[in-house]
Amino acid sequence: MSNVRIVTDSTAELPADVVEALEITVVPWHIQLDGETLPDVPALRTSEFHRRRSRAQPVAVPPNARQFADAFERCTRASREIVAILPSSRIALSLQAARQARAEFVGRCEVQLVDSQFISCALGALVIEAARAARAQTSAAEIVRYVNGLITRTYFAFHAESPEQMLRHSLIENSPAALGSPSGYRPLLLLEQGEIVPLPRSRKRGDPIERMVEFVGEFGPLEHFWTVSTGLHHGLELLHTRLSEELPDKLYEDHVYGPVMAYYLGSTILGVVAIEALL
């Protein structure tokens, strides 16, 4: 058993078997949809779920300080060191709630909080690496340093057909640079240092998928590489084709994001997440 317990929330979008195998504590968000309140679990992060809820916009409810305190309390039964790796504080409210919960444990347990600056599989990858380090008996301070180093090598670029949700949550500026122009230009967006910003416009013309492939092609070897969508995006097959044609050496996985990310960023995201290898 690890000397350090790793905590995150369900926006890390981790498979249940990985959570169990690596002994990760996941504090769930809840989803309000069609009069029901559901915990954010892997079953909601599927193409089938997005297809069923295509006409309804879910509301995501973040975990509160009490839920984080309960999770930390459970962790103290096995360890006096906890590292909580959470979604970008510019997007979600988990870090603030975890910070409030941590106050209850002063003098009892060391709780270190990390703003991952990401969400979805980018956050999940950081959590998995932290949990593996914990199983290798790495100290909490070393795990935090390790994760912060991974953050600097992690990139999330995406295109959104509709910016409505991001505008509603004030995550992007209402400007042509972020939203595109009447001429048809649509920017590629980056989740960078926890904020959503437009990628500077390339001199080359091209649709968002071409720019995503170009973006990934600028990196050397990658430790991890994903496509990110609801699994229903009409451009996903084209992205697959262009990746196989232009970057056949970069192997990737398809990741279907869940309703929390859809609540904040919308359900029309098509993106890529890449973690550079450390040379």
- The per-residue pLDDT for 50 is 86
Query: Is residue 1 pLDDT above 60, yes or no?
Result: no
The torsion angles phi and psi of 5, rounded to 5 degrees, stand at -100, 135
- Structure confidence at residue 173 (pLDDT): 85
Given a contact cutoff of 8 angstroms between Cβ atoms, the answer to whether 269 and 236 are in contact is no
User: Is 56's pLDDT higher than 90?
Assistant: no
Strands of 189-192's sheet in order across: 195-198, 189-192, 154-160, 269-276, 222-229, 253-256
pLDDT in tens, 100-154: 999 999 989 999 999 999 999 999 999 999 999 999 999 999 999 999 999 999 9
Query: Which residue from 219, 267, 227, 241 is spatially nearest to 51, judged by alpha carbons?
Result: 267
Q: Residue 57's pLDDT band (boundaries 50, 70, 90)?
A: confident
- Residue 54: pLDDT band (50, 70, 90) is low
What pLDDT digit, counting tens, does each position of 165-205 carry?
A: 999 999 998 876 667 665 566 789 999 999 999 987 655 55
Task: State mean pLDDT over 236-259.
Answer: 96
Mean pLDDT of all residues in the chain? 92
At 206, is the pLDDT very low, low, confident or very high (cuts 50, 70, 90)?
confident
Q: Do the Cβ atoms of 72 and 109 come closer than 8 Å?
A: yes
